[in-house]
């Protein structure tokens, strides 16, 4: 059945504007719509009324690019589990609901406009060490020269499925980025190729994370609950072990 909804949306003209919540109404929303398609309906309505549409980030609309980033009714990516905002469907809501929509908030994620935030701090953490230093050449060793235990390979893959959305940061009361950084550190720590630079990698990435103004991890586990890709807390534990070992060494 189609729904009528009240939306309370964060509007902020630009980074220096103060911003505030504004109420909107949308009607005839089908339960089969995605959350972002519902916002498309609102925006079409606003444009037709000569008002400014609501700015939000999105691109793939299938849960993989990590662009969409809405804080819906007090939860990063909304009430469903294991999904990004773009995968959230309106069947999770009911007729007459009021829905609050805010950006992902953190000191290290300043608001750009309305619901869009600047997550370039995540990129800078990756510049600090999220790679293996191997140049492109046609003569690295054969891909099958080093067999890798399937379990390690699978765990490395699971860690590597992080989409860099920032929901973990937005959900954490300390705005910690430990789940995001832990996932990258873990991916490489689990693979033989990654071991060579392990010490520098973890030290540099953690330092950059601190410099960006992300908070400390106090093990509340909120990040894991809201992570759309099921990145596990085990990755934070692994990073802590890596960090300890690296600190002792270097």
Partner 1 sequence: MSLDSKVPQGPIKDKWTDYKNHIDLVNPANKRNIDVIVVGTGLAGGSAAATLAELGYNVKAFCFQDSPRRAHSIAAQGGINAAKNYQGDGDSTYRLFYDTVKGGDYRSREANVYRLAEVSANIIDQCVAQGVPFAREYGGLLDNRSFGGVLVSRTFYAAGQTGQQLLLGAYSAMNRQIGRGKIKMYNRHEMLDVVKVDGKARGIITRNLITGEVERHSAHAVVLGTGGYGNVFFLSTNAMGSNVTAGWKAHKKGAYFANPCYTQIHPTCIPVSGDHQSKLTLMSESLRNDGRIWVPKHMKDVEAIKSGALKPRELAEDDRDYYLERRYPAFGNLVPRDVASRAAKERCDAGFGVNATGEAVFLDFASAIQRYGKETAHVKGLDENDAALVKKLGQEVIKNKYGNLFQMYEKIVDQDPYNTPMMIYPAVHYTMGGVWVDYNLMTTVPGLYCIGEANFSDHGANRLGASALMQGLADGYFVLPYTIGDYLSHDIRTGPISTDSKEFEEAENDVRKQLEFFVTNKGSHSVDYFHKKLGKIMWNKVGMSRNVKGLTEAIAEIKALREEFWKEVKVPGTNEEYNEELAKAGRVADFLELGELFAKDALNREESCGGHFREDAVELDGEQKGEAKRNDEDFAYVSAWEYKGEPSDAVLHKEELEFKDIELKQRSYK
- Distance CA(147)–CA(105), nearest Å, equals 43
Strands 98-103 and 70-72: antiparallel
Instruction: Give the one residue of 29, 38, 54, 67 binding ligand FES; rule: CB under 6 A.
Output: 67
**Residues lying near ligand SF4 in the complex (CB under 6 A):** 162-168, 179-180, 183, 227-229, 231
- Distance CA(240)–CA(243), nearest Å, equals 5
Least distance between ligand FES and beta carbon 36 (Å):
7
Beta carbon nearer to ligand FES, 39 or 67: 67
- Distance CA(50)–CA(85), nearest Å, equals 27
198 binds ligand FES (CB under 6 A): no
**Partner interacting with residue 225 (select from ligand FES, partner 1, ligand SF4, none; CB below 5-8 Å by kind):** none
Q: Bin 5: left if φ > 0, else alpha if -120 < ψ < 50, else beta.
A: beta
Q: Residues binding ligand FES: what is the number (CB under 6 A)? A: 13
- Containing 122, the helix (H) or strand (E) segment is helix 120-127
- Written as one string, the DSSP assignment of 40-87 is HHHHHHHHHTT-PPPP---SSSSSSS----EEETTEET-SSSS--GGG
Question: Going residue by residue from 69 to 98, which x/- string records binding to ligand FES, judged by CB under 6 A?
Answer: ---------------xxx------------
Least distance between ligand FES and beta carbon 126 (Å):
18
63 binds ligand FES (CB under 6 A): yes
Pick the piece of the chain touching ligand FES (CB under 6 A) from 1-9, 63-71, 123-131, 219-227.
Answer: 63-71
Q: Dihedral sign, CA of 165, 167, 168, 169?
A: positive
The length of the chain in residues reads 250
Beta carbon nearer to ligand SF4, 70 or 179: 179
CB-based contact 133:195 (threshold 8 Å)? no
- Distance CA(57)–CA(113), nearest Å, equals 10
58 binds ligand FES (CB under 6 A): yes
41 binds partner 1 (CB under 8 A): yes
Least distance between ligand FES and beta carbon 236 (Å):
23
Beta carbon nearer to ligand FES, 69 or 175: 69
**Partner interacting with residue 68 (select from ligand SF4, partner 1, ligand FES, none; CB below 5-8 Å by kind):** ligand FES
64 binds ligand FES (CB under 6 A): yes
How many Å separate Cα 45 from the centre of its chain? 29
Where does this chain bind ligand FES (CB under 6 A)?
A: 58-61, 63-68, 84-86
């Amino acid at each position: 059945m189609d729904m009528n909804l009240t939306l309370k949306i964060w509007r902020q003209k630009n980074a220096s504007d103060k911003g505030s919540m504004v109420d909107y109404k949308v009607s005839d929303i089908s339960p089969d719509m995605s959350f972002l398609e519902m916002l498309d309906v609102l925006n079409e309505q606003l444009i037709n009324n000569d008002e400014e549409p609501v700015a939000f980030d999105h691109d793939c609309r299938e849960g993989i690019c990590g662009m969409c980033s809405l804080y819906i009714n007090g939860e990063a990516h909304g009430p469903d589990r294991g999904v990004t905002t773009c995968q959230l469907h309106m069947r999770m809501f009911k007729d007459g609901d009021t829905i609050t929509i805010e950006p992902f908030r953190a000191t290290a994620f300043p608001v750009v406009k309305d619901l869009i935030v600047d997550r370039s701090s995540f990129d800078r953490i990756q510049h600090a060490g999220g790679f293996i230093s191997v140049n492109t050449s046609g003569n690295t060793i054969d891909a099958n020269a080093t067999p890798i235990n399937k379990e390690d390979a699978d765990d490395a893959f699971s860690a590597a499925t992080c989409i860099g959305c920032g929901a973990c940061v937005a959900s954490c009361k300390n705005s910690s980025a430990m789940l995001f950084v832990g996932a990258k550190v873990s991916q490489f720590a689990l693979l033989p190729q990654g071991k060579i630079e392990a010490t520098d990698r973890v030290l540099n990435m953690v330092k950059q994370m601190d410099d960006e103004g992300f908070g400390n991890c106090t093990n509340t586990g909120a990040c894991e609950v809201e992570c759309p890709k099921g990145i596990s807390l085990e990755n934070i534990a692994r990073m802590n072990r890596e960090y300890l070992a690296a600190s002792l060494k270097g």
